[in-house]
Structure 1
Amino acid sequence: MSDDRPSAGSLPGDPARARLLELAQARGSSLAALSKLIDRNSSYLQQFIRKGSPRKLGEQDRRTLAQFFGVDESELAPEMSGVEEKSYGASRYSAGDEDFHAIPRLSLAAAAGPGQFANGEAPFDNFGFSGRWLRENGFDPKMLSALTVEGDSMEPLLRHGDEILIDRGSRFERDGVHVVRMGDTLMVKRLASAGAGRIALLSQNLAYPPVEVGLDEVEVLGRVVWKSGRL
């Protein structure tokens, strides 16, 4: 075992962290190597286990690690404490000959300004999307959620009150507009690579300066793939 694996005594309370460390020790895998396996910087899982940042592993990261260790993905799932950790999958219903999926609208806002604390979590409503349209665009309805934009930093692309559709199965693999969490704050920003282990949070409104942070300081919750808004 290399020095990049902390002892069990340093772990935060989430049992998913303890389980990941246990699996890594049993397999003789370093956290740096496992971080590389999920296309993260070398300290990503060390920070996750030792400092609890990020607060949880993304679904694709959990899936990749679970497949590597040969365990069920649920063993690496966090305690249910955040919106993306809950299973608010789309339900399916029929209207005539067409199938529709009810995409949950979540009762919290993704701020397009300085950021807003996430208070609510449960869906309060849903949008009905054609199953054919979702398939044509390559979307998995179980991985979609709708949020409301607040603020003006993404204008004119996204305006205050716009509804955005988030693909929670899409990690930051290329530049684009994403919903991210920093601490307890949700933001919608354009993301761009800023060198090794760094990421830039960019606003569409040039009155807001770019913010550059380490990849381990921000959690990408999903990519914005659709928007709607009043004229």
Structure 2
Amino acid sequence: MELDATRRRLLALAEERRVSLSQLSRLIGKNASYLQQFVRKGSPRKLEVNDRAVLAQFLGVAEVELSGSQEISVEGEPWVDIPRFPLEASAGPGSTVEGEDAVGSFRFSPRWLRDQGLQPHRLSAIAVRGDSMEPTLRDGDEILVEASPGTLREGIHVVRFDGTLLVKRLEVRHRGQIALLSDNTAYRPIECELGDVEVIGRVVWKSGRL
């Protein structure tokens, strides 16, 4: 297959740093052939957000170089396209993650992103399904998710728990305990160990129908 810019860049970076794709695969917790298949066979079609962040940090580059998001110009004004993924973070019982290939993008002003303290290469957009976060987030809302930099803090987050993607208010408790809270009081808190939850990112913006 013909390599796209992201795959070519990953190969070039690996060669420059004198590290193999197998070593990079193990760095992100995958089997040794994972990145070889990504580059040569196109599977997966796109790297997961957390994997991109780890690789970018190790290779010393901006995550955008491995993500495909890009800054463009419209009628002389700069804009940033943030990838939108066909995933649904459930605000109800949970939805299974089946794929992470971008299906479009949301366009933002770089100035607005800077004013909000947001870095484009750490952002992605997905949809909300369910009613457990009402009235804050409603079914069908699109949310902008900032990939977690590693420091855990309270707020509304997208997390992977028990094989499903959820959007919940995260509360840090004592001795490694956390709670996943719903804004809709009809739903009970989910209490769990910190190690049982993968924090995908913090919700920093929403868009929804009136």
Global fold match (TM > 0.5): yes
1:182 maps to which of 161, 171, 176: 161
RMSD between aligned residues: 2.8
Cα 1:157–1:92, aligned 2, differ >3 Å: closer, same or farther?
A: same
Q: Is the 8 A contact 1:178 1:191 kept in 2?
A: yes
Q: Displacement, 1:138?
A: 1.2
Equivalent in the alignment of 1:103: 82
Shift of 1:95: 1.8
Deviations 1:77-120, CA, capped at 9 Å, x for gaps: xxxxxxxxx94342111123421011011011111111110112
Aligned counterpart, 1:16: 27
Partner of 1:147: 126
1:226 to 2:205 alignment: yes
Deviation at 1:121, TM superposition (A): 1.3
2:92 is aligned to 113
Matching residue's letter, 2:196: E
Cα distance, 1:224 vs structure 2: 0.2
Partner of residue 59, structure 1: 53
CA distance in 1, matches of 2:167, 2:181: 9
Equivalent of 1:162, from 141, 146, 149?
141
Percent same amino acid among aligned pairs? Answer: 47
Asked whether the 8 Å contact 1:104–1:145 carries over to 2, the reply is yes
Deviations 1:41-71 (A, max 9, x none): xxxxxxxxxxxxxxx77936994xx5xxxxx
Displacement of 1:183: 3.5
- Report the number of matched residues: 165
Counterparts of 1:87 and 1:61 in 2: how far apart (Å)? Answer: 8
SS of match in other structure, 1:191: strand
Question: What's 1:193 paired with?
Answer: 172
Q: 1:192, 1:165 → 2: CA distance?
A: 20
Measure the CA separation in 1 of the matches of 2:66 and 2:86.
Answer: 15
2:118 maps to 1:124? no
Residues 184 and 17 of structure 1: is their aligned pair in 2 closer, same or farther, counting only changes over 3 Å? same
Q: Which residue of 2 aligns with 1:79?
A: none
Post-superposition Cα deviations, 1:128-187, rounded to whole Å, max 9, x if no partner, equal 101111111111101100000000000000000000000014445321000000142100
Are the structure 2 counterparts of residues 62 and 102 from structure 1 closer, same or farther at C-alpha, using a change threshold of 3 Å? closer
- Shift in CA distance, 96/221, structure 1 to aligned 2, threshold 3 Å: same
Question: Could you tell me the TM-score, scaled by structure 1's length?
Answer: 0.64
Identify which range, 213-222 or 87-96, moves more after superposition.
87-96
Q: 3-state DSSP class of the match of 1:123?
A: coil
Q: Is the CA contact (8 Å cut-off) linking 1:59 and 1:169 kept in structure 2?
A: no
